[in-house]
Amino acid sequence: MAEFSNIQEKFIHYVDGIIANNRISHAYLVEVNNYDNDIPFIYDFIKMILCNIHYDEIKTSDNPIIHLIDDGNYPDISVISSDTSVINKALIKSLQKEFSNKSLLNGKRIYIIKEAEKLNGYSANTILKFLEEPEDDIIAFLVTDNRYHVLDTILSRCQILTLKDESVNFDIDDQIFDLLDCVLNPNNFFIKYNSYIKDTFVDKNVLKEQLLVVENVILSYLENSKDLSKEVRTLLDNKNNRELIRILSVIEDEIPKLDFNVNFKLWIDSLFAKLIGG
């Protein structure tokens, strides 16, 4: 992979792990440096998903799906983009209508939203149904050049992947570090249960934001980022990559539930039970 940048190699390695561990998400937000240079890697990941192959098999595979994608003729991939400053509600409604029909090839259907930061309140609310109640055969790829310009309601429902080669400095305070420890070692949460419930995990919006930071810290670790402190890295070193991907999957599945009228304490109990594996 000498012809690729370090971040591109990390992306390939990470998505290979997703395929190997069968941890395909229903929605990805992919952060890119440059659309022209990085979109091909997203399409390669889509080929891997649809053909159930690893990256190094793409060029040698004779699967016709690959050729259809390369020629722009794969019928179950739809791309949403806008020449204006917003992606309006009508575009998303059109996508929903299209995806209300069955797959033409009886396989997974993919939609790609370019410049996802252009989703405004109206169009974002429309796309949320897709993201909150995903069908098994529909996968979303939301693409942006800056994840922090994407609405939080969208960001929290996607697994974040990055092709953006820039340093990210995480502000890991004691509370975030303790939450990371609990997420990685959920038994520690139950050992200090009363203290955490009474004094620490008291606001669902705060906890949601902190979990998003924890999610990004784990992703950064999996991408071999040098921006993590020695203490944080030591904590993460105790888990293998497969377990970290499982933890990310649990967090990704559970965070959206906070936007519904759920019992916060029961939600916390359920989150950490699932992190244990229950």
CA distance 184 to 243: 9
Residue 2: the pLDDT is 45
pLDDT for 170 equals: 55
Output the pLDDT for position 77. Answer: 95
**pLDDT score at 184:** 94
For the chain, the structural domain boundaries read 6-163, 174-276
Instruction: Report the distance separating Cα 3 and Cα 100, nearest Å.
Output: 41
Among residues 153, 165, 83, 162, which one has the least CA distance to residue 125? 153
The sign of the CA dihedral 170, 175, 179, 180 is: positive
Q: What local confidence, expressed as pLDDT, does residue 171 receive?
A: 58
Type of residue numbered 50: L
Q: Please tell me the predicted confidence (pLDDT) of residue 80.
A: 94
For residue 108, which of 99, 116, 120, 117 has the smallest C-alpha distance?
Answer: 99
According to CATH, the superfamily of the domain at 6-163 is P-loop containing nucleotide triphosphate hydrolases (3.40.50.300)
156, with CB counted inside 10 A (0-12, 13-18, 19+), is: buried
Predicted pLDDT at 1: 45
- Are 212 and 156 in contact by the 8 Å Cβ rule? The answer is yes
Q: What is the mean pLDDT of each run of 10 residues along the chain (278 residues)?
A: 76 93 92 92 97 95 94 94 92 89 83 94 86 84 89 86 68 82 91 86 85 87 80 91 90 83 89 85
